[in-house]
Amino acid sequence: MPSDQDFIKSVEALAPYVGTERVVEDEIGLSVTRRIAAMLDEDPDAYVVGTPLPPHWFGMFFPNITRQSDIGPDGHPNPGVVLPPIPLPRRMGAGRRVEIMGRLNAGVPATRTTEVVAITPKIARTGRIAILTLRDVIESQGQVIATDELDAVYREMPPPGQKSKVTSLTPAPDNAAWSDEIKLTEALVFRYSAVTWNAHRIHYDADYSRDQEGYPATVQNGGLTMTLLSSAALKRAPGELKRFNVRLTRPVHVGDTVSFQGAEPVDGVVKCWLKDKDGGQCAVMELGFT
């Protein structure tokens, strides 16, 4: 097994990927828009060509479409096909920092330009990890709609038969001003994966999730967690959403019933979190409004 120093050098060798860009075009199709609305339990017929979309929906468009022969054993595209070939087999979203300047419109084409910002190796309590930071710029009709800087964490596989290591449970705040409870059903997670063209097997293949990656069950999609938490906060929006940042701290699992909770706005800022079935805080988000 390579030493920690060899691992760090192998990640640092990916430095030429930093600054590279990938452009994805999307027609922001009405059919997909209506599927997203239905998945989020909204009226799909409320959306017609030209309808401005909710400000946080841009993250569900612009899928990286790859050939089936380019898909790896975990359901992700093979290393180097879309993202840099980081030498660790497991990848999960960890956080986002978003600035919003406008909105996508149903049926109006847009582009996403993704830049590799940084690839950072670390030796953490849970083992070797690498953090891939990407920056998305969303544009439509010659205008920047949003910028989205996101972190993906790459990790080692657990030894055969062992559980995946997770961060210690931190109790969720007990002073929520509002709370939305939702069951993360298999159908909900499947529909999100289908809309976003995400074939990561930990979200639908329980045997793979348990036997290969050491989780107790299939894992809730982090992008769906962020979307549901944003949607819950926007129900209480004190104005127009202009920015948000979010950090995922512990996995939650398909089939769990969780609570999306938050505090009252303070100076246009709403703080909210996800509380899991054990009372732990698994995600935190801060949204800024004007």
- What tens-digit pLDDT sequence spans the chain (290 residues)? 678 899 999 999 999 999 999 999 999 999 999 999 999 999 999 999 999 999 999 999 999 999 999 999 999 999 999 999 999 998 888 899 999 999 999 999 999 999 999 999 999 877 899 999 999 999 999 999 999 999 999 999 888 778 887 778 899 999 999 999 999 999 999 999 999 999 999 999 999 999 999 999 999 999 999 999 999 999 999 999 999 999 999 999 999 999 999 999 999 999 999 999 999 999 999 999 99
Residue 228 is encoded by which pair of tokens?
């549901």
- The answer to whether 1-156 and 159-290 have equal CATH topology is yes
Q: pLDDT value at position 168?
A: 80
The b-or-e profile of 109-134 (16+ CB within 10 A means b, else e) is: ebebbbebeebebeeeeeebbbbbbb
Q: pLDDT value at position 178?
A: 97
Domain boundaries, the chain: 1-156, 159-290
Residue 164, C-beta contacts closer than 8 angstroms, at least 6 positions apart = 158, 213, 214, 215
Q: pLDDT value at position 2?
A: 78
Tokens 């999960």 belong to residue: 92
Q: pLDDT value at position 162?
A: 80
Query: What is the C-alpha separation between 156 and 86, in angstroms, rounded?
Result: 11
Does the pTM surpass 0.85? The reply is yes
> What architecture (CATH level 2) is domain 1-156?
Roll (3.10)
Query: What is the C-alpha separation between 222 and 248, in angstroms, rounded?
Result: 7
Q: pLDDT value at position 7?
A: 92
> What architecture (CATH level 2) is domain 159-290?
Roll (3.10)
Q: pLDDT value at position 136?
A: 98
Torsion, Cα of 84, 132, 187, 98 (10° steps): -130
Q: pLDDT value at position 125?
A: 77
Q: pLDDT value at position 273?
A: 98
Residue 42 is encoded by which pair of tokens?
């909204």
